[in-house]
Structure 1
């Protein structure tokens, strides 16, 4: 049985081809300080795969980029059940990429609140899209 709040390797978005396809589709929205790119597919195996990033142009020090990515992953990990149940109800699977857009490192509370809004919006979008 998988851990409820874990983030195993199978849920991480690592494939360069999938990431390129995701950005080519240009489906996304922003909830400050997070920009979300997403794609949903008819149900299959896999559930949700997630990737996170922070700009090297904005954050020159790797320490800052790594901290932001850790905060984004943690905020997602603690709240991912909402998205998972939304996708299961819609009978879909998806890939999602979170981009940090602020110029400063925000606190965990700010990132967690923005992530909650993003996940709520994603589950709503998944339920409203027609299966293709």
Structure 2
């Protein structure tokens, strides 16, 4: 099983991100909010991470939280078993820097919820 998070699995398109906020749905586990939408032009899941300057003034702290969320998703991406390609964005909404175990549990809860909403056939 390959645990890489390649270029084709990253959500970078401005139009796709705007479409997430206009047409997407949202779920929340703890301090992480996940905005998701069925992908129209992609053939695999695409994810993005966002941390607001409102909660972390220093860029090093924001980048640390983004790295933790990306890494926890990278290790658990095989558990996302929906057949429909999804575009989703993890938004961290707390002023406290989480530890790695906490990030893993938050992302695991979000993945379980996505599997419930889009069950594989």
Report TM bin, short chain: over 0.9
Aligned alpha-carbon RMSD (Å): 1.7
Alignment of 1:68 with 2:60, yes or no, is no
Q: CA deviation at 1:127?
A: 1.7
Counterpart-to-counterpart distance in 2, 1:62 and 1:100: 14
Greater per-residue helix proportion: 1
Task: Answer yes or no: is the 8 Å Cα contact 2:49–2:69 preserved in 1.
Answer: yes
Aligned residues: 120
Counterpart in the other structure of 1:46: 43
CA distance in 2 between partners of 1:95 and 1:58 (Å)? 24
Q: Among residues 1, 4, 7, which one is paired with 1:6 in the alignment? A: 4
Distance in 2 between residues matched to 1:75 and 1:122, nearest whole Å: 16
CA contact (8 A) 2:32 2:90 kept: yes
Moved over 4 A (4+): none
* Structure 1: unaligned runs, 5 residues or longer: none
Contact conserved, 2:39 with 2:85, CA < 8 A, in 1? yes
- 1:57: which partner in 2? 54
Shift of 1:45: 4.9
Between Structure 1 and Structure 2, whose CA radius of gyration is higher? 1
Report deviation, 1:46. 2.1
Aligned: 1:99 with 2:91: yes
Superposition deviation, residue 41 in structure 1: 4.5
TM-aligned CA deviation for residue 123 of structure 1:
1.2
How far apart, CA to CA, are the structure 2 residues paired with 1:113 and 1:124? 17
Match of 2:82?
Answer: 87
